[in-house]
Amino acid sequence: MIEDHPKVQFGKTGVLIVNLGTPDSTNWFDIRKYLKEFLSDRRVIEVNPILWQIILNLFILNLRPSKTAKAYKEIWMKDENMSPLRYYTLKQADKLTKEIGNKNLLVDYAMRYGNPSIKSKIHSLKENGCENLIVLPLYPQYAAATTATVCDEVYRTLMKMRWQPNLQIIPHYESEPLYIDALINSLRKKINEISWKPDLVIASYHGIPKKYFDKGDPYHCYCHKTTRLLSEKFKEIPIKTTFQSRFGPQEWLQPYTDKTIEKLPEEGKKNILVISPGFSSDCVETLEEISIQGKDSFLKSGGLNFEMVPCLNDSDDHIKLLKYLITRKNL
């Protein structure tokens, strides 16, 4: 036995919940830094990397940060000095720690882009004695541009570690009954809060380029599966699947959320609810793109009532779901 052997912590399991990411502030340079990392990911942008880097650095990163900064300023949590996405992901990790209540199971959070990084959090968990690592990407519907790129970053980190933890990844949960029930409960809660009856519920998912689907990405199918399961258990109001947040000139998954919202009033649907089942936390895509831009477009097109159902965030139903996903095979 080596007497001066360094003290090593071991015997624990680390849980890392991972969301997309967020800039550190609404500062132009922080926004640019975040966008550069995000839009340099070849899982996100599948075009010739040399050509794309020229376009990205010469044009997009000089023009887009100002527009993105304006959107973030609309929804930034000034008292907490962070984006809603970071705030709710942090709250999810804290509540999971308390709910699980096991000193040998450590819960933390990371962002795929920006801070805190996946690499830093994996090393932190390992240094605190985690021999096992459970990674839960907070994307209910698997896609290469979301879940797979989280896995890529986890693998890259582990490749450089001498003593790797045992790894488990939870890749998707689009049809888990607790997830479907949580969404339905959030819908009913919002309906009870309003004084009008919705004609339609729009289930708006983040879009991906159609060519990704053509290459075999299952995301489109998972989204429709979630909506189908919602419709089977929530029969009071029709639910329609749409896709938002398209970027660039190529065709994305359709129907597009913004175009659909604009046309609904002329179809006689002037009172709508929008829910975003694919977003585990409210963020710029839900709070600014839908709640502000989407609502404004709908009302200008002749709509009467528009409400956004909050994401599951740190609700009790969501924490119950996440706890189940983490512990069902591990405790």
With both helix axes pointing from N to C terminus, report the angle between 61-75 and 28-39 in degrees, rounded to the nearest 10.
Answer: 110
The region that residue 107 occupies, defined by phi over 0 for left and psi between -120 and 50 for alpha, beta otherwise, is: beta
Q: Check if the beta carbon of residue 278 is closer than 8 Å to that of residue 139.
A: yes
pLDDT tens by residue, 192-236: 999 999 999 999 999 999 999 999 999 999 999 999 999 999 999
Model confidence at 140: pLDDT above 70: yes
Query: What is the distance between the alpha carbons of residues 224 and 220, in angstroms, rounded to a whole number?
Result: 6
Which of the four pLDDT bands, split at 50, 70 and 90, describes residue 262?
Answer: very high
With both helix axes pointing from N to C terminus, report the angle between 84-100 and 316-327 in degrees, rounded to the nearest 10.
Answer: 60
Model confidence at 252: pLDDT above 80: yes
Which of the four pLDDT bands, split at 50, 70 and 90, describes residue 8?
Answer: confident
pLDDT tens by residue, 96-106: 999 999 999 99
pLDDT at 329: 67
Nearest to 268 by CA among 238, 310, 308: 238
pLDDT at 330: 65
Strand partners, 192: none
Nearest to 15 by CA among 124, 139, 113, 114: 124
- Which H or E run contains 52? helix 49-55
pLDDT at 331: 57
As a whole-number percent, the residues of the chain with pLDDT over 70 amount to: 97
Give CA torsion, residues 107, 113, 42, 213, to 10 deg.
Answer: 60
Distances (CA, A) of 181 to 5, 88, 97: 51, 20, 23
Which of the four pLDDT bands, split at 50, 70 and 90, describes residue 3?
Answer: low
Query: What is the distance between the alpha carbons of residues 64 and 50, in angstroms, rounded to a whole number?
Result: 20
Model confidence at 157: pLDDT above 60: yes
Nearest to 260 by CA among 312, 212, 203: 203
Note if the pTM is more than 0.85: yes
pLDDT at 232: 98
pLDDT at 7: 75
pLDDT tens by residue, 269-327: 999 999 999 999 999 999 999 999 999 999 999 999 999 999 999 999 999 999 999 99
pLDDT at 213: 98
- What is the C-alpha end-to-end distance of the chain, expressed in Å? 33
Q: Which domains, ranges and CATH numbers included, belong to the chain? A: 177-308 (3.40.50.1400)
Burial 259-276, CB ≥16 within 10 A → b, else e: ebbbebbeeebbbbbbbb
pLDDT at 10: 78
